Structure 1
Amino acid sequence: MTTTAADAAAEALRDAAPVAYWTDAPGAPGIRPPLEGGDEADLVVVGAGFTGLWTAWRALDRDPSRSVVVLDAERVAYGATGRNGGFVSSSLTHGLVHGAALWPDQVGALHEEGERNLAELVASIEAAGIECDLRRSGKTTVALQPWQLEGLQEAQRLGEQHGLALELQSGEQVRADVHSPTYLGGLRDRTGTVLIDPARLAWGMAAALERRGVRILERSAVTAIRRRGGGVRVETADGYVDARSAAVATAAYPGPLRRLRNYIIPLYDHVLMTEPLTEAQREAIGWSEGQGMTDGGNQFHYYRPTADGRILFGGWDAVYYRGSRVDPRLEQRDSSHALLARHFFATFPQLAGLRFTHRWAGPIDSTTRFTAAYGTALGGRVAYAVGHTGLGVGAARFSADVALDLLGGEPTSRLRYDIVRRRPVPIPPEPLRNPIVQLTRRSILAADARGGRRNLWLRTLDTFGLGFNS
């Protein structure tokens, strides 16, 4: 009997654990206690993902005497922070091409800001001694269809204008590096991306923050933030914290500021992790530099090796659920994981028979422009930074500084950027939201199938710099 691609994918997924690989690891920290009763602090941070952790971190960098409390509805690294691919990009604009299209007069400064942010992020991790498998291996973007080659050339030209040494590779060159028959060309960037183990980075940051005096309280969902005198009261079901100010970093998850629902759309991104490769399997794929990989389609994959010889493979099928649902029951979608498995073996047919040990998904907080939304509430006592889409691991640190700038009320260079001053176009509420998102997803799939040709709907969105992306 002939084994079909679907059969092979099903067999490879048969024993995959329905949890995120990064957080399903030995040495994971124990559960911290929740907030109970009353407390006081100078700053309360709502959310213990990367944006929240960096906000606490940067607050202490500015004033080591500041008292900081971090509250999370679940645990440190529970959300997108512990579910992503571990790519840390210097881009604050969802890529240089996208930034040039939306902010042509400021993209140069934003690029420099992002480069500086990444360098300082890496320096902070190393100075704190956080072991998170940090690798300066960069990234290669590959073309899988002829029409994608033009996009690589455009990105290379734009990179050169901003001083980036991007190597445009022929199909033969990129296949000699990473052995996949699907590659028609590549763009190698050796400096704009580092790779990390995201959960270990978050856990390491949390431990370092606690050594600096920060109190991190888990299983403490914030139910409300109210004015109290010259400050705020941040409330949970079992307690409260009175503080001078608060920062909200809840990403795609429901938070205390209802206005954020106008800007955030939760898209479920799906990921697989393989078992460790044998020596023969590693030789069969090459990949000696161990860089991150992504492809140039509108619907795209991202993948990378891990410290223990596995391959993470994710992306492509970003799913929206009617009503902007966010629910743990949505984290396992057989059709999406099976599709990813088929794409994996199409990319690396020489790895037939390799099995997946983990399968997971989680909501990404996307916006209509693919970059974060910033602002304040309660008379400037509360700042928020949400909507990092798929490049938030690095941009979260920049966003932390923006939130603190907003709370400080002092003009800084960051606050002059349009990416900060102007919020994304709001997303219509239901019942319009779901049909709009589904039309956009269908149009993107159709564009990939038609050699990149975008229909009238996508061209209209492009005109206004709008869309949905993971």
Structure 2
Amino acid sequence: QEVDAWYRAAPQLEVATTPAQDDAWEEVARACHAAGIDETVELDREAVQGVCASPVFRAGLSMRTSATVQPARLALGLRQRLLERGVRIFERSPVVALTETGIATADGSLRAGATVVAVNTATARFPGFRNALAVASSHIVLTEPVPDVLDDLGWTGGEAIADARTLLHYFRTTNDDRIAFGWGGGRMGFGARRRPALELDLDAVGQASRSLVRFFPQLAGRRIERAWGGPIDVSPTHLPVFGSRGRVHHGFGFTGNGVGPSYLGGQILASLALDCRDDVSRLALVEPADKRFPPEPLRFLGGSAIRRALVAKDAAEEVGHRGGPITRLVAGLPRRFGLHLPR
């Protein structure tokens, strides 16, 4: 569509910043090798330092076929292309009900042969989906332009990087030489309620800012010019979920690198809405085995306790400890029940 979304092809790295994170990517590397996919390259300390010379980077995994975009520019650019093609977009028109024949809003209704629900965390507002996903916040801080720091780090190739902790840090550079640095350790949401702390949590912003300087000490004293957050949705399996209920088709659970998978998600939802029986509509992501989170308030209370334990475990590992036995027990509960919380 020729949208200028600041597309930049560059590898994506997963890095270890503590001994507990060493070789965290082994399962991914083995799966790629077993599938005959020449995609991953394991990096020792010297190699990962050659990409970005953070003092905390110990080793890493490079995923070569990757790229970054500026997601807001992509979304707004696609919106403009749709308008140019005559598509009518009704913004700020909350849907209050889904029906077999269309949707209802506060000011009117719309009849349609098919309805697609692709609204991220708002999916939980609709009956039948409330226990199908969990919601938590993730926050990002953005530095002033720091070309001198990027040159000092040798981080000039546009690589996107994330560490291997449970509530991970994720970061990338921008076209104007800033660093965008995020942390997935925000608060749990309660059902589909839009709590203010999901949008901007000063505690999470402060933690992200401190971690930014720990990763890149050269940034001490440099300005943080922007900070923002928002709710993210995750399915119990940590994979996107697609399906149909009559003529209403849904897709949710784009946790993590959502921009790339959303392209495939669009193909899946288009196939479902057009009633195509093709390879895309038969993928394993479509109508997976039904798995649910506990209902509220148990999901909020239990999820909040588990996330606090995960924060404590990650913090202990950063200073060379394992965390206490109770912390480890609570942090391990999702895995014991085969569930995944937002990261």
Please give the TM-score of this superposition, normalised by the length of structure 2: 0.89
Q: SS state of the match for residue 307, structure 1?
A: coil
- Structure 2 contact 120–254 (Cα < 8 Å) conserved: yes
1:226 corresponds in structure 2 to 99
Unaligned runs of 5+ in 1: 1-127
1:366 corresponds in structure 2 to 234
Q: SS state of the match for residue 430, structure 1?
A: coil
1:160 is the counterpart of 2:28: no
1:417 is the counterpart of 2:283: yes
- 1:237 maps to which of 88, 106, 109: 106
Distance 1:254 1:404, change over 3 A: closer
For 1:390, the aligned partner's letter is G
Q: SS state of the match for residue 269, structure 2?
A: helix
Distance 1:213 1:196, change over 3 A: same
Distance across 1 between alignment mates of 2:92 and 2:235: 27
1:404 is the counterpart of 2:270: yes
2:298 corresponds in structure 1 to 432
Distance across 2 between alignment mates of 1:461 and 1:442: 13
Shift of residue 354, structure 1, vs aligned partner? 1.1
1:268 is the counterpart of 2:107: no
Shift of residue 290, structure 1, vs aligned partner? 1.6
Distance across 2 between alignment mates of 1:254 and 1:351: 39
Distance 1:339 1:459, change over 3 A: closer
Deviation readout 1:220-252 (Å, 9 max, x if unpaired): 11112224xxxx132211222221111111110
1:284 corresponds in structure 2 to 152
2:52 corresponds in structure 1 to 178
Distance across 1 between alignment mates of 2:39 and 2:102: 49
Distance across 1 between alignment mates of 2:151 and 2:83: 43
- Structure 1 contact 440–467 (Cα < 8 Å) conserved: no
Shift of residue 177, structure 1, vs aligned partner? 2.2
Q: SS state of the match for residue 171, structure 2?
A: strand
Deviation readout 1:426-468 (Å, 9 max, x if unpaired): 1122221122212321343354335679945555643553121
1:394 corresponds in structure 2 to 260
2:5 corresponds in structure 1 to 132
Percent identity over the alignment is: 31
Unaligned runs of 5+ in 2: none
Larger mean Cα displacement after TM superposition, 449-458 or 436-445? 449-458
How many equivalent pairs are there? 335
1:216 corresponds in structure 2 to 89
- Structure 1 contact 369–424 (Cα < 8 Å) conserved: no
- Structure 1 contact 143–152 (Cα < 8 Å) conserved: no
Structure number with the bigger relative contact order (C-alpha 8 A, sep ≥ 6) is 1
Distance across 2 between alignment mates of 1:348 and 1:432: 39
- Structure 1 contact 268–362 (Cα < 8 Å) conserved: yes
Distance 1:256 1:322, change over 3 A: closer
1:194 corresponds in structure 2 to 67
For 2:340, the aligned partner's letter is G
2:173 corresponds in structure 1 to 305
Deviation readout 1:271-319 (Å, 9 max, x if unpaired): 1111111x43232221121200110111211100001111100023132
- Structure 1 contact 372–385 (Cα < 8 Å) conserved: yes
Q: SS state of the match for residue 140, structure 1?
A: strand
Distance across 1 between alignment mates of 2:123 and 2:8: 33
Distance across 2 between alignment mates of 1:325 and 1:168: 42
For 2:90, the aligned partner's letter is L
Two-structure CA RMSD over aligned residues (Å):
2.3
Q: SS state of the match for residue 130, structure 2?
A: helix
Distance 1:236 1:360, change over 3 A: same
Q: SS state of the match for residue 259, structure 2?
A: helix
Q: SS state of the match for residue 397, structure 1?
A: helix
Larger mean Cα displacement after TM superposition, 288-297 or 327-336? 327-336
Larger mean Cα displacement after TM superposition, 150-159 or 240-249? 150-159
Distance 1:282 1:397, change over 3 A: closer
- Structure 1 contact 222–235 (Cα < 8 Å) conserved: yes
- Structure 1 contact 274–355 (Cα < 8 Å) conserved: yes
Shift of residue 263, structure 1, vs aligned partner? 0.9
- Structure 1 contact 247–403 (Cα < 8 Å) conserved: yes
